Structure 1
Amino acid sequence: NSDLLNVIQKNIITDKKKASVAIKDLSKILSALDSRLNVIMGVILNSIFAWDIRQVYRMEAWKGQYAANFNQWFNSIGEFDALLSLANLQYNKVDWNHPSISDDNVWQITEMRHPLMAQSECVANDFSVQTMPFIKVVTGANMAGKSTYLRSVGSNLVLAMIGAVVNAKLMSFHPLQIVSSLRTSDSLMSGESYFYAEIKRLQMIVNRLKSGEKVFVLLDEILKGTNSNDKEQGSRSLLEQLIKLNTIGVIATHDLSLGNLSSLYPNAIENQCFEVDIIDDQLSFDYKIRPGVAQNMNASFLLAQNLKHNFQAINN
C-alpha cells in the first residue's frame, strides 16, 4: 500500500503491458532470430520466409514501442532494489533504530557503533555537535579507536541520509554531504607521492567549502607524509581555515599540540581522546571516548616490545 511502491509499479507498465512481459516478447524475437544459427533451418526459413528480415522488422517495431521507456524501467527496478536492501537491513538488524532529522545544525548520536562490526565486539560511543562551525579534535594512541570512531560516525551518517536504520540507540542529524580524507594512497602511474595526493584531497575539500557548499568533514591523521614541524603547522593552519569556512567535522590525530587550539576557539573546537593503559607490561584499551587531550601514547612501547621480541628470536 506504499505510495512510493505504487509509483514504481506504474513506471514499469507501458500501454497496459508490464515491463517483464515486454522483455519476454523481446526474448522471443531474439530466440527466433537465433534459428538462423542452424544452417539447414536458416537456409529454409530465409529462402521461404525471409526470416532474418522479418525478425529485424519485429525488433525495430519493439524498439519503436518500448525504447523510450527502457531507461525508466531500469531506473525503477534499481530504485526498488535499493529500497529492498534498506528493508532487508531493517529486518535483519532489529536492534538498530531510525534516525530523526533536525531542522537546526544539531547532531546527536547516542550509543553509536560501527555498522560492520559485531555488536559483541564493538564498544558504543556518543557523538554530539550543537552548532556550526564546530570541529572535534580526537587524539589518542595507536590502536586506541580513533579511526574506527571516525568511520562509525561517517557510516552511520551515510545510512541515515539514505533513509536506513542506524547502529545507534538514538540519532538526530542535519543532512549534509560527507567529504573525507581517510585512506589516501600514492600513485606511481600518475607520479603522485602520498603527501601530494593528500594535499590535493584536502584542497578539494577546502575549495568545496569556499564555494559555499555545506559539508561534513572527516579527516584521519592528515599530513602523515611530511616532517613533524610541517605536519603540526599545516594541520593547525587547516583547522583554522576550516573554522573560518564554517565547517563541521571530526579530525583524528596524533598531534597533541592541536589540542591547544581549543583555548583560541573555545566555541568551535572540542578536544576528545581515547586513552591506553599499560598493565603488567601489556597494553589495555577500553575504546571509550572521553573529553580532553590524550595523556598516554604507546608508539615507543610498541617499538620497544617488538624490537625486544625480534632480538630474542635472533639470539635463540
Structure 2
Amino acid sequence: MSALESPAVSYRKQFESFERLSTQLRQRSRRLSWVRLAIAAIAIALAWPALFSGLIGARWLWLPAVGFVLVALVHEGVERRCRRARRTTEYYRQGLDRLAGDWIGQGPDGARFEDADHPYAADLDLFGRGSLFEHLCAARTAGGESRLADWLQNAAEPVIVRDRQHAVAELRDRPDLRLDLALLGDRIGSTVDTGRLVKWAETPAVLTTSWPCWIATALGIVNVATFTAWLAPVLHQAVEAAQGGEVLELFKGAGPFFVALVVSGLFAAWHGAETRRILHDGDRPQHDLGLLAGVLERLQQERFKSAELQRLAEALRIAGVAPSRAIAQLTRIVQIEQSRHNAIFAALGGMVFAATHLAYAMERWRAQYGRAVVVWVDAVACFEALSSLARHAHENPEDVFPVFEDGPALLDAKGLAHPLLSIETAVRNDVSIARNAQRLWIVSGSNMAGKSTLLRTTGVNVVLALAGAPVRASAMRLSALQIGASMRIVDSLRDGTSHLYAEIKRLRCIVDLCKGSRPVLFLLDELLHGTNSSDRRAGAAAILRTLLDGGAIGMVTTHDLALAKIVDELGDAGANVHFVDHMRDGELAFDYTLRSGPVQKGNALELMRAIGLEV
C-alpha cells in the first residue's frame, strides 16, 4: 500500500486482483482435468494393440503414462495456487468487511474470556459478539487469543506498553507477513489449541529407562529372522506345489517363529500399557502441529528492528535448533504413529515393536524440546497479539499512539471517538481529566444523547492504549491507569441480587481498586439510579468523594440534575458537561457534541407528547 493509498482502496485492488487470478486458475484447472482425462483415454486405446494384438510395441504406453504424470504434477501446482488465491481473496474480503463495519460474526468473539467479576470487561464490551476482541483478533493459535485477551483485561506498565507500540508500528508496515500467517492452515480463521501441546510438553517423562527399548529391538530382530526363516521354504514349496510337486507343509519350521511371538506377546503385555498411554497422550495435542510449524517457520524468516520483536525472535532459538524443524520432527512421529492403524502396517509394526520405538521417540523429543515448547508457544502468542494490534493500526492509519506520562492520574484526549464506530459518522469529542485539575466530570443529558457512549469511548480507547495499540483520537496523553466501570449492572433472580445491590457491590470493588498502586479511572453510568432521590444524592456524593480522595479520576453520567450540583461542593476539582437534543419533525435529534455545564432541559415530556400522550 502506498503512503497516499487508503487501506480500503488497497484491499479493494488486492481483492479484485486475486479474484481474477482465482477465476483464471479455476479455468486452467478444468482444462488440465480434461487433458488428463484425454491422456487416460489414449492410454486405454493403446493398451489393446500394444499388449494383445502386437500392432504396436508396448513401449509406446510409456508416452501417455509419462504425459499423464507430468500433467498431473502441473495440475497439482495449479490447484495449490488456486487454493491460495481463493483464500487470499477471502482474506481481503474480510478486511473490506471490517472497514465497512460488516465484521460482526466473522471471527472469534472471545466469549470464553468473559468474566462477570472483571472491573470493566463486560461494561466496555471487550468480549462476545460484536466486541472489541472480535474486531481485533487475528490470532491463529488459542495461545494468541488468550494473550490478546489478557492484554485487554490487564493493563501493562508504561515501559512495556512503549515496547509494544514500537513492535506494533513495525508490524503495521509488514502486510505481507500478516497475509502469509493468515493463509496458513486449512482455512481462513482456523486456530490451533496450543494449550494441550504445552501441557503435554511439560508432563514428566514416563519411560525413564532405555533397556525396554533394547529388548524391543532384539525381539524385533528375532521376530523378523524367524519369520523369514519360516516363510522362505514355505514360498519355495508353494511354487513347487503349484507345478505339481510335493505337498505344501505350511507350518514346517514355524516353531521358532511362534516361540518368538509368545515371548514378544509376554513383553507387550508387560510393557504395552505404558507405550499405549504415551502414544495416546502424545497424539491428542498434535493434530494442528502443521499450522504451528508453519507459523514458526514464517517467523524465523523475518528480521526485526524493534526490541520486543527481537526478543521474541531470540526466544525461538532457545533450543539451539529451528523450532519449525523440531515441530516437524514431532509431526513425522505422530504421522507414523497414526499409520499404525493401517492393517498391513499394524501387522508388520507389531512384529518389530514399532509402537515401543515411537513411544521412546516421543519421550526423547519431549526430553529435548519440552521446555522449549513453552517458550515457543509463548513467543508465538505474543507475536500474534502484536500482529492483531498491528492489523488494526494498518487499517486505521489516522489513529495515533498515545503518549504515557509519569506522575499523577491524567487523561487528556483530543478528537476522541469509539474505535468500533465508522470514522465517517462518529462524532469526536475532547476529554480532559487530571489529578491536578478537573478530576471529575458529571455528564448529564437525555436518553440516547451519547452519555453512555462517551464512557465506553473513553474506556475502550484507554484499554487500547494500555495494551499497546493506537487509539481513535487526534492526540492522547495519559498516565498508567486502572479502569473501574459500572455501566452494565445486571440483577439476578436466582442469586437474589437486586440491581441496586449489584451496583453497590461493583462500586465497592472500584473503591477497593483505589488501594492499589495505579490511580483509578472510574466510569459510572447513571450512578445509584435504583434508589430514591434523597439517598441517591447523598450516596453519590459520598462515593465520589471517596474515589477522589483515593486519587481517582473519572466520569459519571446522570439524568438527575440534582447530582449535577455535586460539582458545587468540589470547587475546581469537578465540572459539569452535557449533551443536548431537540425535536425535529416530531422526532428526537442528537448531535452527540459535548458541551460545558449541566443540561438545561429533558426530553421526556416532549417525547410523550410526540407519541400522543397528553401531559
The normalised TM-score by structure 1 is: 0.91
- Bigger relative contact order (CA 8 A; separation at least 6): 1
Which residue of the partner structure matches residue 312 of structure 1? Answer: none
Q: Tell whether the 8 Å contact from 1:144 to 1:285 is kept in structure 2 after alignment.
A: yes
1:174 aligns with 2:479: yes
1:116 aligns with 2:406: no
- Paired letter, 2:471: V
Aligned partners of 1:57 and 1:146: how far apart in 2?
Answer: 64
1:269 aligns with 2:574: yes
Offset at residue 120 of structure 1 (A): 1.7
Offset at residue 304 of structure 1 (A): 4.0
CA deviation map 1:126-157 (0-9, x unaligned): 01124358111111111111011111111111
The normalised TM-score by structure 2 is: 0.48
Offset at residue 207 of structure 1 (A): 1.7
Structure 2: unaligned runs, 5 residues or longer: 1-304
Secondary structure in structure 1 of the residue aligned to 2:566: helix
Which residue of the partner structure matches residue 56 of structure 1? Answer: 359
- Paired letter, 2:552: T
Secondary structure in structure 1 of the residue aligned to 2:424: helix
Which residue of the partner structure matches residue 461 of structure 2? Answer: 156
CA deviation map 1:148-196 (0-9, x unaligned): 1111111111111222111111111112111111111123443322222
Secondary structure in structure 2 of the residue aligned to 1:65: helix
Structure 1: unaligned runs, 5 residues or longer: 309-316
Aligned partners of 1:9 and 1:189: how far apart in 2?
Answer: 50
Match of 1:30 among 334, 340, 344: 334
Q: How does 1:1-316 map to 2 (within 5 A)?
A: 1-47=305-351, 49-105=352-408, 106-132=410-436, 134-210=439-515, 213-306=518-611, 308=613
Aligned partners of 2:591 and 2:433: how far apart in 1?
Answer: 23
Distance 1:192 1:18, change over 3 A: farther
Secondary structure in structure 2 of the residue aligned to 1:175: coil
Offset at residue 213 of structure 1 (A): 4.6
Q: Tell whether the 8 Å contact from 2:481 to 2:518 is kept in structure 1 after alignment.
A: no
Distance 1:211 1:162, change over 3 A: closer
CA deviation map 1:190-222 (0-9, x unaligned): 332222221111111112224565211111112
Secondary structure in structure 2 of the residue aligned to 1:251: strand
Aligned partners of 2:353 and 2:564: how far apart in 1?
Answer: 82
- Paired letter, 1:68: R
Aligned partners of 2:349 and 2:612: how far apart in 1?
Answer: 81
Q: Tell whether the 8 Å contact from 2:319 to 2:369 is kept in structure 1 after alignment.
A: no
Which residue of the partner structure matches residue 183 of structure 2? Answer: none
Secondary structure in structure 2 of the residue aligned to 1:265: helix
Larger strand share, 1 or 2: 1
Offset at residue 33 of structure 1 (A): 1.2
Offset at residue 29 of structure 1 (A): 0.9
Aligned partners of 1:256 and 1:158: how far apart in 2?
Answer: 30
CA deviation map 1:220-239 (0-9, x unaligned): 11223333333333222211
Q: Tell whether the 8 Å contact from 2:402 to 2:465 is kept in structure 1 after alignment.
A: yes
Q: Tell whether the 8 Å contact from 1:277 to 1:296 is kept in structure 2 after alignment.
A: no
Q: Tell whether the 8 Å contact from 2:440 to 2:553 is kept in structure 1 after alignment.
A: yes
Secondary structure in structure 2 of the residue aligned to 1:180: strand
> Which structure is larger by alpha-carbon Rg, 1 or 2?
2
Aligned partners of 2:605 and 2:334: how far apart in 1?
Answer: 69
Q: Which stretch of the first structure deviates more once superposed, 87-96 or 9-18?
A: 9-18
Offset at residue 23 of structure 1 (A): 1.4
Aligned partners of 2:566 and 2:353: how far apart in 1?
Answer: 82
Aligned partners of 2:450 and 2:376: how far apart in 1?
Answer: 45
Secondary structure in structure 1 of the residue aligned to 2:522: strand
CA deviation map 1:262-298 (0-9, x unaligned): 2211122111111112344332211111111111211
Offset at residue 10 of structure 1 (A): 1.5
- Paired letter, 1:39: A
Name the count of aligned residue pairs. 308
Larger helix share, 1 or 2: 2
- Paired letter, 2:604: A
Aligned partners of 1:274 and 1:177: how far apart in 2?
Answer: 26
Q: Which stretch of the first structure deviates more once superposed, 226-235 or 269-278?
A: 226-235
